[in-house]
Amino acid sequence: MFIVEDELKKLPDSPGVYMHKDSLGTIIYVGKAISLKNRVRQYFQKSYQNDPKVRALVSNIAEFDYITCATEIEALVLECNLIKKYMPKYNVLMKDDKTYPYIKVTLKEEFPRVIKTRLLERDGNKYFGPYIDVTAVNRIVDLINQIYPLKKCNMQKFGENHRPCLNYHINSCIGPCINKDCKKEYLAYIDEVMDFLNGKDRAIKEYLTSKLEMYSGEKKYEEAAKYRDFINSVKSLSETQRVTMTADRDMDILLPLKTKTNTMIALFKVREGKLSGRETIDLSDEIGSKYDELMVSFIKQYYTKYSFIPPEIILGREIAESELIEKLLSSYGRRVKITVPKRGSKKALLDMVRNDSLNLINSVDDRIRENEEKKKKLRNELIKVIEKTGVSTEVQRKELRIESYDISNTNGMDSVGAMVVYEGYRPVKSDYRKFKIKTVEGPDDYGSLQEMIYRRLKRALDNSEGFIKLPDLIMMDGGRGQVNAALSVIHALKLEIAVVGLAKDDKHRTRAIVFSDGEEIELKENPFLFKYAGSIQEEVHRFAITYHRGLRGKSVKKSILDGIKGVGPKRRNALLNELKSIDNIKKATYEELIKVDGITPKVAESISKYFAK
């Protein structure tokens, strides 16, 4: 049994990290201390519990644990890592920003590409973002790939007889697949691209201007006009840079924002002395932390997560432990200063972004209010649909749970089912499910739907993890037949769930909501519901098709390669890992095949003969 007073006596008088846990053993708070003995003891002293946040935390502490460290900076690094790992309830946390896009420069590849991604990984590649404006990301990526002849395909190895693609022939790619000597020139382009993405547009403008002058001098006016347009596009993407500093400095300005419903950090980026962009990062702040804790928590989490740390971070007020945090950030590569300007150009810049932040708070509140109104309207419309099915609508949830199902197969082969889930407007991708159809043979969509829905609902009744929540409404991809097929399973399981179908018109667009008796609601009369139902129907169809194609591709790969003498699962996987596709394996020379791990001369000969038939 854990007795707090006894455990407090055992705490060492040394630096370290402490972890408070609740009655279930879940870590609810992580902190660091110069002296574990003194710091942890404070939580259980009444004089320290004046802060409502501390009172709420202490009331939930059932036990604590700790890890000793040699120095305070070591403790700070460990604290950051543990907060990222456990995401404790009472720490100020950066909310997951996976929905925002990044621009990724694939530096781990011999010839890097510039692409958009929503997945941030510590994989040695360079990420810029996250960006709030998806359209701007697409414009930037497209512009870069138009200006510079960079590789667009994801192939990494090229055979001796490799033919360049169309991009090479239209001068949109420098052609590293056939010209390895271009590497130095290619990497110089990548350096300029990364400067541009960091807000430093001087090099890209000089490059474009030199091209413009060259083509103008050669009287190639069409090409010159293209580069003139590129220069204008670069300028338009930089027009948010409203303030110029006295020196070409890189810095970030951080300001906390509290709206009626959100806690955020506004991050203003200054690159080469110019204000080049603003991000807002939502924070999970359970009770309402003070300025000091908000800023310290954010700086530690944000700058230890991203690869670029500017040499200066500007704040509106002093924070505790600023020197210690400077040491932590400086340990990642170069010296970092945290400053609070009192006068001069930096103070002017800080005042300007403060003003911008006040406008941002108002716009965020307006947007939240609009979203709440849309959510309320959607809920009312969906409840009307549920009532029309005859199912009781005593729904307690603020946002209704909608599930949609679809079947995908090729002439009855590799038949699969897909389930997507929405809570109000929001797709809940963690609740999406895939089903391999097991009991139905041939192209029987009704039978396949019934099997999938039975398995999904039976797991809910069995309290299987990930299936417990039941939907308020099921939207079937199909008409009256699909609706009644689903209802027969629901009634057999003695459940009551509203089910409707989504019928399409001749142009494959969502046309109507269909009920079990064949009655329809034409969606053109309700644009609001039309857009919502259409997005769900497209999403479940996409999810089902993607899953089916993946399975079908695997079965094709398996059947072709397994027919070759001497090629078992291990060699099959080695071939696919090295050469990437069946088509590349077919085209591979004998010399390329024997370079693959595990492929002997005899097996290479068998592969060549097999595909030569």
Please state which CATH number belongs to domain 401-553.
3.30.420.340
Model confidence band, residue 411 (pLDDT cutoffs 50, 70, 90): low
> Among 335-339, 491-495, 556-560, whose mean pLDDT is lowest?
556-560
Q: So what's the pLDDT on residue 302?
A: 87
Examine the pLDDT at 529 and tell me if it is beyond 70. yes
- The ranges of the chain annotated as CATH 3.40.1440.10 are 4-90
DSSP 8-45: HHH--SS-EEEEEE-TTS-EEEEEEES-HHHHHHHTTS
DSSP 253-314: EEEEEE-SS-EEEEEEEEETTEEEEEEEEEEE-SS---HHHHHHHHHHHHHTTSS---SEEE
- The ranges of the chain annotated as CATH 1.10.150.20 are 562-612
Using CA atoms, how far apart are residues 589 and 604, in angstroms rounded to an integer?
9
245-274: pLDDT as tens digits: 435 678 899 988 887 777 888 888 887 776
Q: So what's the pLDDT on residue 98?
A: 44
Chain mean position to CA 188 = 29
Using CA atoms, how far apart are residues 131 and 120, in angstroms rounded to an integer?
12
Q: So what's the pLDDT on residue 118?
A: 77
pTM above 0.85, yes or no: no
298-308: pLDDT as tens digits: 898 888 876 67
Residue with the larger pLDDT of the pair 8 and 161 = 8
**Are 471 and 403 within 8 A, CB to CB?**
yes
Burial of 526: CB neighbours in 10 Å, binned 0-12, 13-18, 19+: middle
Using CA atoms, how far apart are residues 114 and 106, in angstroms rounded to an integer?
7
Residue with the larger pLDDT of the pair 383 and 100 = 383
- Hey, what amino acid is at 153? C
Tokens of 527: 């644009």
Q: So what's the pLDDT on residue 557?
A: 53
85-96: pLDDT as tens digits: 888 988 877 665
- The ranges of the chain annotated as CATH 3.30.420.340 are 251-363, 401-553
How many helices, marked H, and strands, marked E, lie in the chain?
19, 20
CA angle 481, 484, 488 (to 5 degrees): 140
Residue with the larger pLDDT of the pair 562 and 448 = 448
Residue 130: name the closest of 336, 302, 258 by CA: 302
pLDDT, averaged across the chain: 83
Strand ranges, E, within 71-147: 93-94, 102-105, 114-117, 126-128
414-452: pLDDT as tens digits: 788 899 999 988 889 889 998 988 888 777 888 888 999
Q: Which residues of 396-431 are buried (b: 16+ CB within 10 A; e: fewer)?
A: eeebbbbbbbbbbbeeeebbbbbbbbbbbeebbeeb
Residue 316: name the closest of 377, 267, 255, 361 by CA: 255
Residue 331, SS3 per DSSP: coil
Examine the pLDDT at 382 and tell me if it is beyond 80. yes
Examine the pLDDT at 553 and tell me if it is beyond 70. no
Residue with the larger pLDDT of the pair 307 and 382 = 382
Q: So what's the pLDDT on residue 129?
A: 67
Average of per-residue pLDDT across 264-292: 74
Q: So what's the pLDDT on residue 552?
A: 61
Q: So what's the pLDDT on residue 240?
A: 39
| pLDDT over 90, % of the chain | 21
- What is the number of residues in the chain? 613
Q: So what's the pLDDT on residue 301?
A: 86
- Judge: domain 251-363, CATH 3.30.420.340: yes
Mean pLDDT is highest, among 23-37, 114-128, 152-166, for 23-37
Homologous superfamily in CATH for domain 4-90: GIY-YIG endonuclease (3.40.1440.10)
Please state which CATH number belongs to domain 562-612.
1.10.150.20
> Among 220-229, 301-310, 424-433, 462-471, whose mean pLDDT is lowest?
301-310
